[in-house]
Structure 1
Amino acid sequence: MTHHEHPDAALVRRAYTAFTSGDMDTLGSLMTGDCTHHVPGETRFGGHFKGRDNVLGMYRDLDEYTGGTLRAELGSVLVDGRGHAVATHLLFAEHGDRGIEMPSALVFTIIDGKISDIDECVADIEELDSFYSLDG
């Protein structure tokens, strides 16, 4: 973190901290009510989750699916000063006897100091789908 961190970068860092610690109340307070998270892939975790409650519900489902092992190790946060931020991270999760580790990024749209849109990008959509489609 730099001395002159942009407020949008600070917001994204707070969101990552809340997500990583499972603090959905704080995370929800950083989003607009109509926030949408766009997730790549064809599984139940892929698609467009519209509305803060649906986004947070998807995060809770991911936490349950991964037995609490899902984490995003934040790399860098880049901002344009016009309401957009890009955060890179390394995604880790386990399900059953299988794990995944994948470079990923989130592209945020920020309006009036709150996250209004999240576009998720991953290194390998097919591998992510395979992981999210495991039984047992």
Structure 2
Amino acid sequence: MNEQRFGDLVERFYRAFLTADQRALGKFVAPEAAWIVRLDTALSGAHHGPEGIAALRRQIDELTAGTWRPFREDSFDIAESPWHAVIMDRFLAERGERRLDSHEVVIVAVEDGRITRLFHYLHDPAAFAAFWSR
């Protein structure tokens, strides 16, 4: 897969995730894929396949009463190489009295034209953990 198509694939995946489009996620995410969210929070763990990643997105909406969102519709960047892409964005959300303003990075691996692994990294892990704590 050439780099242009690789970046396009990751952007289409990201937009599908943001809009909770499970059907589109199924096109971009391999059945054996896993999105790894570290720390000890309500979101932590490995979310497997398109269904698990769609469930993660639904969980985010449920926990934030639909307030979770990117800073702006166009606030993301995607950096890429022949082996990985990195999605960078800033997210805002409310959860009761808690407020989230978080710069986050997701490293994406693609094999055979489908996303196989996603690793989540945070600018401020303590703030993320406090917001998403159980």
Q: What is the TM-score with the length of structure 1 in the denominator?
A: 0.85
Partner residue, 2:76 = 75
Q: Is the 8 A contact 2:86 2:108 kept in 1?
A: yes
1:11 aligned onto 2:12: no
Residue segments in structure 2 that go unaligned for 5+ positions in a row = none
Q: CA deviation at 1:5?
A: 6.7
What amino acid does structure 2 have at the position aligned with 1:21?
A: T
What amino acid does structure 1 have at the position aligned with 2:98?
A: R
1:56 aligned onto 2:57: no
Aligned length: 130
Q: CA deviation at 1:93?
A: 1.5
Alignment of 1:29-44 (within 5 A): 29-44=27-42
What amino acid does structure 2 have at the position aligned with 1:87?
A: I
Q: CA deviation at 1:69?
A: 1.6
* Separation in 2, partners of 1:12, 1:49: 17
Q: CA deviation at 1:125?
A: 1.3
* Separation in 2, partners of 1:11, 1:103: 22
Percent identical:
26
- CA distances 1:65-118 after superposition (whole Å, capped 9, x unpaired): 11112223542211112x311111112221123220111111000011111100
What amino acid does structure 1 have at the position aligned with 2:129?
A: D
What amino acid does structure 2 have at the position aligned with 1:45?
A: L
Q: Is the 8 A contact 1:36 1:50 kept in 2?
A: yes
* Separation in 2, partners of 1:43, 1:98: 14
Partner residue, 1:26 = 24
Partner residue, 1:131 = 131
RMSD, aligned α-carbons:
1.9
Q: What is the TM-score with the length of structure 2 in the denominator?
A: 0.86
Q: Could you say what secondary structure the match of 1:90 adopts?
A: strand
Q: Could you say what secondary structure the match of 1:6 adopts?
A: helix
Q: Could you say what secondary structure the match of 1:41 adopts?
A: coil
Residue segments in structure 1 that go unaligned for 5+ positions in a row = none
